[in-house]
Amino acid sequence: MPERTESESRKLLRRLRDVLAVPGKGQDRLDSITHLIADSMGTEVCSIYLFRDPETLELCATEGLKKEAVHQTRMKLGEGLVGRVARGGAPVNTANAPAERGFRFMPETGEEIFSSFLGVPIQRVGEKLGVLVVQSKEARGFSEDEVYAVEVVAMVLAEMTELGAFTGDDGAMKALHRQPVMFRGTQGQEGAAEGRVWLHEPRVVVTNPVADDPLTEIDRIREAVGVLRVSIDDLLEAQELDKDQKQVLEAYRMFAHSRGWLRRMEEDIMRGLSAEAAVEKEQSAARARMEQVADAYLRERLHDLDDLSNRLLRILTGQGRDTGAEMPDNPVLVARNIGPAELLEYGRRLRGVVLEEGSVGSHAAIVARALAIPLVIHAERISGEALNGDAILVDGDQGIVHLRPEETVARAFRDKIAMQAEAQKRYASLRGLPAQGTCGTVVALDMNAGLMADLPSLDSSGAEGVGLFRTELQFLIRNKMPKRAELASLYTRVMDAAQGQRVVFRTLDIGSDKVLTYMKPSDEPNPAMGWRAIRVGLDKPGVLRMQVQALIRAAAGRPLTIMFPFVAEHAEFAEARSHVLRELHRERSLGHPAPERLEIGAMCETPSLAFAPRAFFELADFISVGGNDLKQFFFAADRENERVRRRYDTLNLSFLGFLEGIVARAAEAGTPLSFCGEDAGRPVEAVALAALGFRRLSMRPASIGPVKALIRRVNLVEAREVIEAARARGAETARAALMDWLATQAG
């Protein structure tokens, strides 16, 4: 690139920095900047469009367009050329703007006389802030150097926006990190919590976006990249790394040694950016590309580059994860994403968790449920908006987060929490009483668990046992396969804590959304219906046998209950059961005591098992309907897909009729039957399930009180009649009829 252009670019940035250094109102600064850029670029127009909300851009300053259009002209994301730049995160450069796809004519701006158009996004590490536009009457495309120069200026504007350079009460931007913001995400774990933000990875603050001495900045970036490369090499030499971990670090090393990555950052510096700003410019570009790439592998590689940029920024700024800030007494964790082991390290100190990514079946969601922590996922952009110590309200029931809430919102939220606490007191008074309907029918209520920390809830919740102990959590939180002795020790502690109450141990349920980092991943187009759960156990019998051995040794002569997940046909269950019986014989021969009583059951999570031969129902010691998976396969609605997972009602009469068939077949064979899943813990759904004939329900501990309270208020025989009447009327769902009927029952 010619030295003249480089000097002009640096000169523009220095002038821009001088303008920003002068005290003044936010709007005055925006106006000065548009004048400066238009003058430096030799264009008749420079305009700055900023987001007023996630979907709306507003013309906030201009040189060359009509001044009366400022703060009046608005457009939606994707609308017009400006909206197209904002949506795609990439420049639009055209010599004939009116002829471009999606052009929107805005007569109030007077822009019809300007033919050429260059728009670049103003964005900071994935956070879209606005669009910078230059226009001229001459019909020409802007050169590559001109595009690059405007991109560099936009990067500085993004950094200065982050630092509050354009805030004020004069029509400019509202101050970042100060205004109340509501994020509408997805429910990951029910519950409500009030607390203070604790960022899992505190944001790196860049305070010097413009370089004083490019050569010094290039020395800094080269030195920092060298430190980064050495740190990755050191990690790769660690002996305890397994193959998959090394593959991830190899990808990191490939990017760290990429000449193109370093060259692009050096070019950014020569155009006037500081080393930190150059890293963030390339990181923002990677984030923008991530949003456009459909291929999962390429997205993952771009994510690697994103993570690597964060490491480099921390080296350059010295801002590590440990910022010296003290965790508040009531921390709510905010992060883009988090692994199960990291979440467990925080443990029950957390009041809530808010993630930008994740899924309802992710490892973090599983751990949050086990810890009974309210969780909201898909809260987009919150990690960029939140600061450590910010007040935050987490509504896991609705999937809503209020950051820096107004006092009226906070008061209403506290009232909700107080009402929930009062209800819990009422439920506590029922702890020693049975879930017995007014008709005399008794329903056993068990709790789900997956960690030792869950077991105290057996007593406090009034649960009659553990209907599901998820053994996979102990595999997910490790970076290598646990040993048999470790598992036996854990299972022993679980049985000891249960104090003789029944614990149903579900064998390893991995695959689908639960992937072990130390097992070779299988690239499957539909993992929920792929190689998972019992299929893995039967294909890798060594792991299954080790787990069964650990369970037998942990029982030490006590009763033992084992359940196999995701059974699709009779033969699978029979084969898995034979493994248990062989291991039982082997353990006896080694001198280990046999369980006093051994129950071997299956989870009915596939519709096919409901139609298995009678021999299956007779062979199984018990059956537990896994409602979450069974419902997704019955309705062909992926429960990880936010568009469809709530589309179909559990109380749909077709689904209830299907469940009735399972109840009838189990009763005919004399096989104990239970229902396990989210719906078991929802009081209205629980009443419907009990009315259909389920006499054992398993749910999270916090749901036992509400479910028991409602069951004790109603006549389950009448509830069955309400369902039948709805079916006779040709209704699609029994929900409305049940809700109307419940409203008439005694309080």
Contacts of 420 (CB under 8 A, 6+ apart): 192
Query: Is the CB of residue 131 less than 8 Å from the CB of residue 82?
Result: yes
d(CA 511, CA 528): 8
Q: Three-state DSSP class for 376?
A: strand
Compute the Cα dihedral for 605, 510, 553, 499 and give only its sign.
Answer: negative
- Helices 735-743 + 683-692 axis angle, to 10: 100
Query: Is the CB of residue 526 less than 8 Å from the CB of residue 641?
Result: no
Q: Three-state DSSP class for 214?
A: helix
Q: Which of 441, 448, 400 is CA-nearest to residue 694?
A: 441
Q: Residue 180 is which amino acid? A: P
Burial class (CB in 10 A: 0-12, 13-18, 19+), 592: middle
d(CA 573, CA 538): 10
Query: For residue 229, what are its two tokens?
Result: 């490369």
Query: For residue 93, what are its two tokens?
Result: 């450069």
Beta strands 331-335 and 74-76, pairing class: unpaired
Rg (CA), the chain: 30
What does residue 92 show for φ and ψ, rounded to 5 degrees? -120, 125
Query: Is the CB of residue 499 less than 8 Å from the CB of residue 558?
Result: no
The region, left, alpha or beta by phi > 0 then psi within -120 to 50, assigned to residue 12 is alpha
Q: Which of 152, 355, 380, 158 is CA-nearest to residue 266?
A: 152
Contacts of 608 (CB under 8 A, 6+ apart): 568, 569
Q: What is residue 326's DSSP assignment?
A: P
d(CA 377, CA 358): 6
The region, left, alpha or beta by phi > 0 then psi within -120 to 50, assigned to residue 636 is left
Q: Give the residue numbers marked as catalytic.
A: 363, 676
User: Containing H/E element for 492?
Assistant: helix 484-498
Q: Which of 509, 511, 503, 582 is CA-nearest to residue 548?
A: 582
d(CA 265, CA 259): 10
